A = this chain, B = another copy of it.
Amino acid sequence: MVEQVELHRGLRDVFFDNTESSNVIGDIGRLIYRGYDIHDLAEKSTFEETVYLMMYGALPTQKELDGFDKALRASRAIPAEVLTIIATIKDAHPMDVLRTALSALAAFEPEVDDVSHEATLRKGIKISAQAATIVAAHHRIRIGEKPLDPDSSLNHAGNFLYMLLGEKPDDDTTELMGKDLIVHLDHGSNASSFAARVTASTLADLHGAVVTGVSTLKGPLHGGAAEGVMKMALEIGDDANVETYLAGKRERGEKIMGFGHAVYRAEDPRARHLREGSRVLAEKKGEPQWFQILSKVEEQMRPYAERGICVNVDFWSGSVYYLLGIPEDLFISIFAIARVPGYVVQILEQQKANILLRPLLQYVGPHDLVYTPIEQRG
């Protein structure tokens, strides 16, 4: 007989550890990185500084930031062999290419199996820089262009846009991309960071744990919504069509992309920083209709906010990427570029007080079956 046990399906209500890195307070829509509100960081900080804060636990002095930024810039190049691997599988989904290339980087990492704090941190800084290079290089290769060398005069966000699109972005655009990366950096026990921790908990190496994170982020229940929002905006086409479009969706009982979140019951605090950027960018690009359409969708959806179905981060990030001329199938990869340093932070935290993450399954299958020879089966 099977003893009945309490099941925690999805583990939604189970705390598996303490953290000092990020805190998602879903009911009031707050996101905290190491004690700092995401709004302060998005408005006042830079991506480099925020990554430093997350990896080292405190905001850097100018000297510390300079050293860290220098290390990041110096790490951007990827081995020619990894570029060859990317070219070999160039027609695959960008997330499959990113996952494969990150995995291959392990082959060129002399400290690959060193799970000490120092080595993991060194490798973590490097892979955070390299992830952006992989995504950009893959895109160049698949459109028949030569991958561009990183430009060390540009910061992480600016250099990524340059390597991806072949043009140095202006300051506003660089800043907007930096904000986007800041707000996507970490998010409590999200599924992909948790999966990366499970891998790290066996004392597997950093590259393996980051690969796990990227594998997990690819799933539509996790990383996949920004793509859908812009598809919706394109389907709507004009802000005069918003009401009819939403009414049709409601009638057919279909979900509206970019609304609702597993944790937030209030407005996703990450959305507002991309909303303003999207507005400015749409004006600048001479395509204000996308901002108008999405604003109207947001306005029409306001009544649902009371039921906790609010705008999420994907709602505005999709239009930002679109206006920057980034193809839709790269949207998750940009999320990944921002989240890779977040995985590093959580992997470091897991290693610091490691315990193997191994929950239980309740066996409810058959018992004591007798093995019959194959001739006797029918």
Contacts and interface: CB of A to CB of B under 8 A. Distances in A.
Contact of A377 (B23, B61, B204, B218): B61
A359 B16 contact: yes
A275 to B, nearest CB: 21
Given A59-B372, A96-B107, A198-B191, A362 B18 contact: yes
A220 interface: yes
Nearest to A22: B363
Interface in A34-52: 34-37, 40-41, 44-45, 49
A226 interface: no
B92 A106 contact: yes
A201 B363 CA distance: 19
A245 to B, nearest CB: 25
A198 B201 contact: no
A300 to B, nearest CB: 28
A135 to B, nearest CB: 15
Nearest to A88: B81
A91 interface: yes
A273 interface: no
A113 interface: yes
Contacts of A41: 371
Contact of A7 (B5, B15, B220, B367): B15
A378 B15 contact: no
A295 interface: no
A189 B361 contact: yes
Contacts of A371: 36-37, 40-41, 44-45, 59
